[in-house]
Amino acid sequence: MRIADACERWFPDAFVFALAAIVLVFVAGVSIGVAPATLVAEFGGGFWSLVNFTMQMALVIVGGFVVASSPPVARLTSRLAAIPKTGRGAVAFVAAFAMLSSLISWGLSLIFTGLLVREITRRLPRVDYRAIGAAAYLGLGSVWALGLSSSAALLQATKSSIPASLLPITGVIPLTQTIFLWQNVTLAAVLTALSIVIAYFSAPRDEDAKTAAAMGVTFEPMTADETRAATPGERAENSPILSVVIALLMLAFLLQQIREKGGFAALDLNNFNLTFLALGLLLHWRPRSFLRAVGKSVPATAGVLIQFPFYGGIFGMISKTPIAERLADVFVHFTTHNTFPVVVALYSATLGMFVPSGGGKWVIEAPYVMAAAKAWHQHLGWTVQTYNAAEALPNLINPFWMLPLMGILNVKARDLAGYSILQLMVHAPVVVFLCWFFARTL
C-alpha cells in the first residue's frame, strides 16, 4: 500500500504522459537535426491519421458494455457470482474470468468482470474489495493482447487499418502468425496460471479483509426502464422486429466474410466490432434498451477519443521524419539477433507508460521496430506478440485502462495499485524471459 500511495502521488493522468511524449519526440527530432517546422507540419499532418482506428477502438468499449449489460448476460453474471464460496476463492475466480474473457474482448472483460465483482460483493460481503477489484483488472494487465482482441495483431491483419507508411515494411500479417502461434498460446497459459496463484495467495483472509462497506462503497441495483409505450414512436422503440432483422443482416454479412476470407482471416477490427454490436441488438431485443446501454457506455470512451489524435501526431513526427530511421538504426546497432526480443519487450513496456494504448502505441512503435526486426531476420509475427506481451505490463501501473472499471466499482486507482504492482513484480521477468526463449524456437 505504501507503493500504491507513492504511485497515486507521483503519477499524473494518462493524458499528461501522452503530452510529455510529444515534447520528448519533438526534442529528440530537433537534437538529430530535424527542422522544427518539419516536426510541426508532421505533427499536424498526423493528428487525424488515426481517426478510423480511434472509432474502431471506441466501438470495442461500446460493444463490450452493450453485450455485458444486456438482460441475458446480467442473469448469467448472477449465476457466475454464486460459484465462489470464500473471499480468496472469489478473488481467484474473478482473476481467471477476467483473463479468459479478455482473450475474447478486453472491452467485454472490463465491463463484464466489473459487474461480476459487484454481484459477488453483494453475495460475499466479507471479500476484500481491493483484492477482488485488482483481480478484475488482470485481463488488461496480463494477457488481453495475446488473444482475439489484440489491437496490434488485428491491425496488422487488417490492410485498411495499417498506416500507409507501415504497410510496405510489414505487409499484412495474418492471425495465424501472431495470436495463433503455439508459442503465444503457451505464453498466455503460463501468465494466466501465474496471475491466478498470485491473486489467491495475496488476498487477505476474510477476517482481515477491507470490505466494500468499510470503503464506503454501496451499489444501487441496475433496474430496467419499465415505462409502457404510450405513442406509436415509443411502441416502435420497444418493438424487437427491427433489431432482430438488422442483427440477422449483420450476422449474414459476417458469415459471408468468413466464407470469402476463410475462418480467422475474417477477424479484423471491423468485423469484430460488428459481431458485438449484432449480439448487443439481439441480447437487448428492443432498440430502446440497446440505445440506453450505448448511452451508459459512451463516458468510458472519453480517454480513447481525446488521446488517440495526439498519438497520431506522435506517429506523424516519428514515421514521416528521419526519427524512425534513426531509431531503427539504434535497434540494429544496440541489439543482436539473440537480444532483440528482450530489447523490444523492455522498450515496449517503457513506452507504454507514455502511450497506454495497445493499438495507438503500436502505430508509433511499429515502423522502426519492425524495420529492425526485418534487418535481424526476426519472425515478424512473434515480434508483434513480444510487443503485445510487454505492452500489457505498464497497464498494471498506469491507470488509463482502469478508468471504466474504476467507474463501475467506485474506487480510486490507488485502491487497486498495491495488488497490481505485486503482479507486475512477478510478471515482468517472466514475460521478458519467455519472449526471448520462444523467439529462439521460430
Neighbours of 251 (CB within 10 A): 16
Alpha helices in 141-286 (DSSP H): 151-156, 167-170, 182-202, 232-237, 241-261, 269-284
**Percent with pLDDT over 70 in the chain:** 89
Residue 408 corresponds to which cell in the numbers above? 463501475
Q: What is the pLDDT of residues 37-80, one digit of tens each?
A: 989 998 998 888 878 878 887 887 788 778 877 888 888 888 99
What is the C-alpha to C-alpha distance for residues 27 and 167, in angstroms, rounded to an integer? 27
Q: What is the DSSP string of 352-399?
A: TTT---HHHHHHHHHHHHHHHHHHTT--HHHHHHHHHHHHTGGGGT--
Give the three-state DSSP class for 164: coil
Q: Give percent of the chain with pLDDT exceeding 90.
A: 23
DSSP letters of 119-143?
Answer: HHHHH-TTS-HHHHHHHHTHIIIII
Between 137-151, 153-167, 380-394, the lowest mean confidence (pLDDT) is in: 153-167
**Of the candidates 97, 89, 92, the residue with the CA atom closest to the CA atom of residue 114:** 97
159 grid coordinates: 490492410
Whole-prediction pTM: 0.76
Calpha distance 294→150 (Å, rounded): 23
Most distant pair of Cα atoms in the chain: their distance: 72
The whole-number pLDDT of residue 266 equals 61
d(CA 209, CA 203): 8
Say what the pLDDT of residue 367 is: 82
Residue 223: pLDDT over 50: no
Query: Which pLDDT tens digit goes with each residue over 279-326?
Result: 999 998 888 888 888 888 788 777 778 888 888 888 788 778 888 777
Name which of 287, 311, 322, 256 is nearest 15 in CA terms: 311
Own/partner contacts of 4-11, CB < 8 Å, gap of 24 or more, are 4/414, 4/415, 4/416, 4/417, 4/418, 4/421, 5/414, 7/397, 7/413, 7/414, 7/417, 7/421, 8/412, 8/413, 8/414, 8/417, 11/397, 11/398, 11/399
Residue whose C-alpha is closest to residue 244's, from 271, 290, 295, 278? 278
Radius of gyration in angstroms for the set of CA atoms belonging to the chain, rounded to a whole number: 22
Amino acid at 84: P
Cell of 251: 450476422
pLDDT at 239: 78
Number of C-beta neighbours around residue 379 at 10 A: 19
Query: How many Å apart are CA 225 and CA 407, to the nearest integer?
Result: 21
Q: Sorting pLDDT into bands at 50, 70 and 90, what band is 260?
A: confident
Q: What is the rounded distance in angstroms from the CA atom of residue 152 to the CA atom of residue 274?
A: 18
* Cβ 421 vs Cβ 396: under 8 Å: yes
Q: What is the DSSP letter of 69?
A: T
**Segment 241-255 mean pLDDT:** 87
pLDDT given at position 134: 92
Asked if pLDDT for residue 240 goes beyond 70, the answer is yes
User: Bigger pLDDT: 437 or 221?
Assistant: 437
